[in-house]
């Protein structure tokens, strides 16, 4: 597997020139400077490249094992995690009163890509811990915040989310884990599956956040409550006591992310696992959904990170592999990167990665602005989050698959490392709500809830950028603007059809939910690619920045317009015309 080169230049340019890092810091009233974040990004890149990335192959080939009720992580894992914690990286967005750095979500998002690009299986652990911090911070009692937030924020302990059961996947309303009241706490009895980092040897304690049903609660999702249960009980003075009645009983054997211990967890084999209620009974799903924006954003970042790593692997191979005569070139043998089709695969991959990176940064900036009291920013973030999650994770699979294709037969050989990226990427479209669920969310909750108003406002912003580009000199920028405007029209037509159809035939509308999300992704990504190209042209006119990088940003914007935005009309027709053939299918013919 090739070395990982953190995309610091692209992240820095997008943060400072496209999504408005300085404005976000001002809006939040932060005393942090953009230069401070740039320095932190560079330092995180060194840790990612030098410490975490080299373990990617190690973990894939030496997965965790379960010994006497304890998960043992791959060689080097615990030491790397300690380096990660010692650098304060686990608490980058955490509140300073609990040991965090207090940086905005925008900075945290950029740094997270580095961890996922370096080693997706490793980065899953702190990602899930952040979800635990969010939940307890927003919905826990004062005592729970005091007990759990500081060690979670610093990374001294890690956190998990336990939702899925053998009989209840995405339909969590069917879960059977029981919670029995016992004084001021509860005892849990049940089993959870697919629990990422449900157990490990990197920290002395793990804080489990668990969905369960209190005895006598209503059926379905209305009767689900949220609990916190530590692996090791915590004494009043913060010291650790006895082991709680929860244990890993097996490890899942997975297609990818082999180094991430995915556990089957049992609760209540003996007296029942000690647990504390978070918030009120029967509001567990409500609490979980309130923190889904950040969780789904993080998974989208994961997709971009693994796409970047797979692209780098393919690029390195294409630059050195010599095979076949290059049409139109004479003389010495040339590497395969000079073949038009290989150049196409790499260019389209790089253009889409850059667009997806800019889009997740835009979404993070909107969350920061929304948290500072801007309701319009929060509405737009809500609209974009399912797109970031689904479109970016599909992109991770696509680019990893393309990377194998660039390698040719060698890509199918495990020794090159290209196959691992594909195997690792494949889980991301599935968890945190499958991408089909994200598409339904986009259509029903985000477009349907306000009759398409937020989407139309986004389209107005996109068309405005397209207009700016069409007024620029030269060929590339006007072409980008023209293609972007056409794609925005297609999305607008699809949105109008969805709004009109939802009231009459929801099933027909939902048959086009996935192509609608893909269409939204490529148009929103095109908007970001266009903004980046425009910012690059402005920097060129002011003789600022690296000319080679800026030229590439404009060229890749043109590649995106020609090869990605060109699909918009076909996707719009799939939304508006493709549903009838789906809803009319008799399942017996399938």
> Are residues 533 and 400 both part of a single domain?
no
**Is residue 169's pLDDT more than 70?**
no
**Is residue 210's pLDDT more than 80?**
yes
* Angle between helical axes of 292-320 and 105-118 (0-180°, round to 10): 40
* Angle between helical axes of 476-502 and 547-563 (0-180°, round to 10): 40
Q: What is the mean pLDDT of residues 333-359?
A: 96
* pLDDT recorded at residue 291: 74
Name the burial class of residue 185, with classes exposed (0-12), middle (13-18) and buried (19+) by CB atoms within 10 angstroms of its CB: middle
DSSP H or E run through 412: none
What CATH number does residue 192 fall under?
Answer: 2.40.110.10
Domains held by the chain: number = 4
User: Binning pLDDT at 50, 70 and 90, where does residue 329 land?
Assistant: confident
**Is residue 1's pLDDT more than 90?**
no
Angle (nearest 5°) at CA 335 between 330 and 337 = 105
> Are residues 405 and 518 both part of a single domain?
no
User: Binning pLDDT at 50, 70 and 90, where does residue 142 land?
Assistant: very high
- How far is 551 from 549, CA to CA, in rounded Å? 6
User: Binning pLDDT at 50, 70 and 90, where does residue 537 land?
Assistant: very high
User: Binning pLDDT at 50, 70 and 90, where does residue 551 land?
Assistant: very high
> Are residues 453 and 542 both part of a single domain?
yes
Poorest-pLDDT segment among 26-40, 347-361, 453-467:
26-40
Provide the percentage of residues in the chain whose pLDDT is more than 90: 93
> Are residues 229 and 335 both part of a single domain?
no
**Is residue 576's pLDDT more than 80?**
yes
- How far is 151 from 103, CA to CA, in rounded Å? 18
User: Binning pLDDT at 50, 70 and 90, where does residue 331 land?
Assistant: low
Name the burial class of residue 204, with classes exposed (0-12), middle (13-18) and buried (19+) by CB atoms within 10 angstroms of its CB: exposed
The DSSP 8-state label assigned to residue 272 in this structure reads -
Structure tokens at 242: 């006895």
Give residue-wise pLDDT tens across range 67-121: 999 999 999 999 999 999 999 999 999 999 999 999 999 999 999 999 999 999 9
Domain encompassing residue 578: 441-583
Residue 369, in any domain of the structure: no
- Average predicted confidence (pLDDT) for the chain: 95
> Are residues 189 and 270 both part of a single domain?
yes
Q: Which of 105, 121, 154 is the last residue of a domain?
A: 154
Residue 348, in any domain of the structure: yes
Task: Please enumerate in sequence order all residues whose Cβ is within 8 A of that of 240, keeping only pairs 6 or more positions apart, or say none.
Answer: 204, 205, 232, 233, 234
> Are residues 541 and 518 both part of a single domain?
yes
Give residue-wise pLDDT tens across range 415-452: 999 999 999 999 999 998 899 999 999 999 999 999 99
- Positions marked catalytic: 432
Q: What is the mean pLDDT of residues 349-374?
A: 97
Q: What is the mean pLDDT of residues 227-243?
A: 96
> Are residues 270 and 330 both part of a single domain?
no
> Are residues 453 and 479 both part of a single domain?
yes
**Is residue 168's pLDDT more than 80?**
no
Residue 362, in any domain of the structure: no
> Are residues 307 and 345 both part of a single domain?
yes
Residue 175, in any domain of the structure: yes
Listing DSSP states for 33-61 in one string gives -HHHHHHHHHHHHHHIIIIITTHHHHHHH
Evaluate whether 227 touches 186 at the Cβ level (below 8 Å): yes
> Are residues 350 and 420 both part of a single domain?
yes
Evaluate whether 358 touches 350 at the Cβ level (below 8 Å): no
Evaluate whether 275 touches 84 at the Cβ level (below 8 Å): no
> Are residues 71 and 199 both part of a single domain?
no
What CATH number does residue 96 fall under?
Answer: 1.10.540.10
Residue 532, in any domain of the structure: yes
Please report where in the chains the tokens 């927003």 appear, as a residue: 138
Q: Which of 286, 311, 326 is the last residue of a domain?
A: 286
> Are residues 138 and 63 both part of a single domain?
yes
* pLDDT recorded at residue 407: 97
Give residue-wise pLDDT tens across range 9-51: 999 999 999 999 999 999 999 999 999 999 999 999 999 999 9
Residue 590, in any domain of the structure: no
Residue 412, in any domain of the structure: yes
What CATH number does residue 426 fall under?
Answer: 1.20.140.10
Structure tokens at 549: 């990088």
Angle (nearest 5°) at CA 424 between 422 and 429 = 90
Q: Which of 404, 433, 462 is the last residue of a domain?
A: 433
Q: What is the mean pLDDT of residues 500-523?
A: 97
Residue 190, in any domain of the structure: yes
User: Binning pLDDT at 50, 70 and 90, where does residue 174 land?
Assistant: confident
**Is residue 334's pLDDT more than 70?**
yes
User: Binning pLDDT at 50, 70 and 90, where does residue 333 land?
Assistant: confident
Q: What is the mean pLDDT of residues 540-567?
A: 96
Give residue-wise pLDDT tens across range 277-317: 999 999 999 998 877 778 899 999 999 999 999 999 999 99
Evaluate whether 364 touches 274 at the Cβ level (below 8 Å): no
* pLDDT recorded at residue 546: 95
Give residue-wise pLDDT tens across range 188-202: 999 999 999 999 999
Structure tokens at 555: 């060229």
């Amino acid at each position: 597997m090739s070395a990982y080169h953190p995309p610091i230049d692209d992240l820095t340019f997008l943060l400072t020139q496209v999504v408005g890092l300085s404005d976000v810091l001002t809006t939040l009233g932060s005393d942090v400077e953009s230069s401070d974040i740039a320095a932190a990004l560079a330092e995180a890149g060194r840790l990612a490249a030098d410490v975490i990335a080299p373990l990617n192959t190690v973990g894939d080939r030496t997965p965790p094992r379960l010994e006497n009720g304890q998960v043992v992580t791959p060689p080097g894992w615990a030491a790397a995690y300690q380096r990660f914690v010692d650098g304060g990286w686990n608490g980058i967005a955490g509140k300073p009163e609990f040991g965090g750095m207090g940086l905005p979500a925008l900075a945290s998002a950029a740094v997270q890509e580095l961890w996922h690009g370096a080693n997706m299986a490793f980065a899953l652990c702190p990602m899930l811990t952040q979800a635990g911090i969010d939940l307890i911070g927003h919905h826990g009692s004062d005592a729970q915040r005091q007990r759990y937030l500081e060690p979670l924020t610093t990374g001294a302990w890690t956190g998990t989310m336990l939702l899925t059961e053998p009989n209840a996947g995405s339909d969590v309303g069917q879960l059977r884990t029981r919670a029995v009241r016992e004084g001021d706490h509860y005892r849990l009895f049940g089993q959870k599956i697919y629990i990422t980092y449900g157990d490990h040897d990197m920290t002395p304690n793990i804080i489990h956040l668990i969905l369960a049903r209190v005895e006598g609660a209503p059926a379905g999702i209305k009767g689900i409550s949220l609990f916190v249960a530590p692996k090791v009980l915590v004494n009043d003075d913060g010291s650790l006591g006895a082991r709680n009645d929860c244990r890993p009983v097996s490890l899942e054997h997975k297609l990818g992310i082999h180094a991430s211990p995915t556990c089957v967890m049992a609760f209540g084999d003996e007296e029942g696992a000690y647990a504390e209620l978070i918030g009120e009974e029967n509001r567990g799903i409500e609490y979980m959904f309130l923190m889904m924006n950040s969780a789904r954003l993080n998974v989208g970042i994961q997709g971009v990170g693994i796409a970047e790593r797979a692209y780098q692997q393919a690029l390195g191979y294409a630059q050195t592999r010599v095979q076949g005569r290059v049409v139109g070139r004479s003389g010495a043998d040339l590497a395969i990167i000079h073949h038009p089709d290989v150049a196409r695969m790499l260019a389209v991959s790089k253009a889409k990665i850059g667009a997806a990176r800019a889009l997740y940064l835009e979404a993070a900036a909107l969350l920061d602005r929304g948290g500072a009291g801007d309701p319009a920013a929060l509405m737009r973030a809500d609209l974009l989050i399912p797109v970031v999650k689904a479109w970016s994770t599909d992109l991770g699979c696509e680019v990893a698959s393309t990377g194998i294709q660039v390698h040719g037969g060698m890509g199918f050989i495990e020794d090159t490392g290209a196959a691992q990226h594909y195997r690792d990427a494949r889980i991301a479209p599935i968890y945190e709500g499958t991408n089909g669920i994200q598409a339904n969310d986009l259509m029903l909750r985000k477009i349907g809830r306000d009759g398409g108003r937020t989407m139309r406002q986004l389209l107005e912003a996109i068309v405005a950028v397209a207009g700016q580009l069409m007024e620029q000199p030269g060929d590339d920028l006007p072409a980008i603007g023209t293609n972007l405007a056409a794609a925005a029209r297609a999305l607008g037509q699809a949105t109008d059809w969805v709004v009109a159809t939802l009231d009459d035939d929801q099933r027909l509308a939902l048959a086009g939910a996935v192509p609608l999300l893909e269409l939204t992704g490529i148009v929103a990504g095109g908007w970001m690619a266009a903004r980046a190209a425009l910012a690059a042209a402005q920097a060129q006119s002011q003789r600022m920045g690296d000319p080679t990088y800026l030229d590439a940003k404009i060229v890749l914007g043109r590649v995106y317009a020609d090869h990605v935005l060109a699909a918009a009309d076909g996707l719009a027709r799939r939304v508006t015309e493709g549903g009838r053939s789906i809803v009319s299918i008799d399942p017996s013919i399938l």
